[in-house]
Amino acid sequence: MATAPATIIHGPSAPPANMFDTVPGYEGTIAGGGGGYLPPPPPSVPMPVPEQAPSSPDWHIPSISEDRARESFATYVSSKCCYSSAPVKEGVITNMESFNTYRYRLETFMESRSTEWSQEPYTGQPVDAGVQPAPGPWQIAAQPPAFFQEHKQTIKVPYTSSVKNCHFCLGMGRNPCTTCAGAGNKVCWVCNGSGYRQSDDRCMHCNGRGRENCSSCSGSGSCQCDTCHGKRQLLVFINLIVKWSTEKDEFIAQDSSGLRVENLEKVSGKELFKDAQYMVYPVRGFPDVSVAQASERLVRDHQVKYAQTSLILQQRQTIELIPITKVNYMWKGKPYVYYVYGNEFKVNADDYPATCCCSVM
Ligand SMILES: [Zn+2]
Ligand SMILES: [Zn+2]
Ligand SMILES: [Zn+2]
């Protein structure tokens, strides 16, 4: 009869706070991150001076032909499995009007930095804590990617590495095996611990012991510590996490066509204006006042939102012209409307009269 071994539960435990030294300039750093982003130093370059207003773009209003409208309409209807094509074939276009609108987009590319205490098994790495003061988080050189490319880099902060006993195995290098709870053996799965099979045959699997060796720990009852990989000691240090990311905001001017603005979010337009520099200046003198206002507001918003916690490296603003054609047509004596919009000639036809092919035979 085997004795049930005491159950020792080894869940993942956070290292105790006293494991970390105090490093000047890194006081808020905690294990596992979550300490928030570190404010960057004030910009070393002066604020940008107003740029020239975008030169008068070419106000060519693209209009589409009736054939183009009809073709886009036919493609749209055939993409809907239940729509009848009768209104496309029999409908008569009575009027086509061009409505064009603008999309303003602002992108801000920035660098953010945060720190966290980390650890790794000690295998003789340099131990440099206190040798000299650690450089500040924004004094450490990182390798930025190309503008507007997302990237992340982790850098071990110099002069913060020290050696500590592993808190997880208390410096033993091994922990009790979780499979057999430290016993080194477990109930035989063939005879379920009795030592015998049906009748009086001895269990061949365990030779009648009723127990078998634990395969996880090869019968030893303990396993190598996962935290220190059996090295008994840990190198404890501060990691600097440098992140490059792009934040994007858009504004689409409302037009009078009746097509909902949300429809325009998925299409592209013709680029009228593009401006990329360290910090952009709001667009001035654009014919549509709401676009100029959106630029003013979004440039200010990005400054307020991101300059506190991140270093702005580059901004980019664009204005696109999105073509919209409203097509009025008659079918079976009644007026209907559809829209063709974007470079993709996307179609919207909310009042399509034959949405079920079975009912218009
Ligand atoms: Zn075991
Ligand atoms: Zn057995
Ligand atoms: Zn350990």
Give the model's pLDDT for residue 113: 94
How many whole angstroms separate alpha carbon 196 and alpha carbon 204? 8
Mean pLDDT (the chain, rounded): 86
Tokens 């990691």: give the residue: 239
Give the model's pLDDT for residue 10: 42
How many whole angstroms separate alpha carbon 217 and alpha carbon 327? 76
Quote the ligand 2 centre to 212 CA distance (angstroms). 7
Three-state secondary-structure class, residue 76: helix
Pairing of strands 162-165, 310-331: unpaired
Q: Which amino acid is at 82?
A: C
pLDDT band of 24, cuts 50, 70, 90: confident
pLDDT band of 11, cuts 50, 70, 90: very low
Quote the ligand 3 centre to 224 CA distance (angstroms). 8
Residue 58 confidence (pLDDT) above 70: no
Give the model's pLDDT for residue 44: 59
pLDDT band of 76, cuts 50, 70, 90: very high
Average pLDDT over residues 158-175: 95
Give the model's pLDDT for residue 2: 41
DSSP 195-263: SB-STTPBPTTTTT-SEEE-TTTTTSSEEE-TTTTT-SEEEEEEEEEEEEEEEEEEEE---SS---GGG
How many whole angstroms separate alpha carbon 80 and alpha carbon 73? 11
Write the CB contacts of 336 (distance below 8 Å, at least 6 apart in sequence). Answer: 87, 91, 328, 329, 330, 349, 351, 352, 353
Which ligand approaches the C-alpha of residue 233 most closely? 3
How many whole angstroms separate alpha carbon 299 and alpha carbon 284? 12
Give the model's pLDDT for residue 1: 41
Give the model's pLDDT for residue 51: 52
Give the model's pLDDT for residue 85: 86
Q: Which amino acid is at 109?
A: F
How many whole angstroms separate alpha carbon 77 and alpha carbon 83? 6
DSSP state, residue 31: B
* Residue of 22, 38, 40 lying closest to 117 (CA atoms): 22
Taken in order 343, 345, 350, 355, the sign of the CA dihedral is negative
How many other CB atoms are found less than 10 A from the CB of residue 61?
9
Average pLDDT over residues 148-174: 95
Q: Which residue did the predictor score with more confidence, 50 or 71? A: 71
Which ligand approaches the C-alpha of residue 120 most closely? 3
Q: Which amino acid is at 209?
A: R
Q: What is the pLDDT of residues 287-337, one digit of tens each?
A: 888 999 999 999 999 999 998 889 999 999 999 999 999 999 999 999 999
Give the model's pLDDT for residue 32: 76
Quote the ligand 1 centre to 222 CA distance (angstroms). 6
Quote the ligand 1 centre to 223 CA distance (angstroms). 8
Give the model's pLDDT for residue 112: 95
Residues 303-309: contacts with CB within 8 Å, 24+ apart?
Answer: 303/279, 305/247, 306/108, 306/110, 306/247, 308/39, 309/36, 309/37, 309/38, 309/39, 309/40, 309/112
DSSP state, residue 184: S
Quote the ligand 2 centre to 205 CA distance (angstroms). 5
Q: Which residue did the predictor score with more confidence, 56 or 41? A: 41
Give the model's pLDDT for residue 294: 95
Quote the ligand 1 centre to 1 CA distance (angstroms). 18
Which ligand approaches the C-alpha of residue 2 most closely? 2
Give the model's pLDDT for residue 145: 96
DSSP 96-149: EEEEEEEEEEEEEEEEEEEEEEEEEE-SS----TTTSPPPPTTTS-----STT-
How many whole angstroms separate alpha carbon 22 and alpha carbon 307? 28
Ion ligand 3: residue ranges with CB closer than 5 A: 166, 168-169, 225, 227-228
How many whole angstroms separate alpha carbon 166 and alpha carbon 283? 58
Average pLDDT over residues 238-259: 93
Residue 45 confidence (pLDDT) above 60: no
Give the model's pLDDT for residue 6: 41
Q: Which residue did the predictor score with more confidence, 198 or 86? A: 86
Which ligand approaches the C-alpha of residue 165 most closely? 3
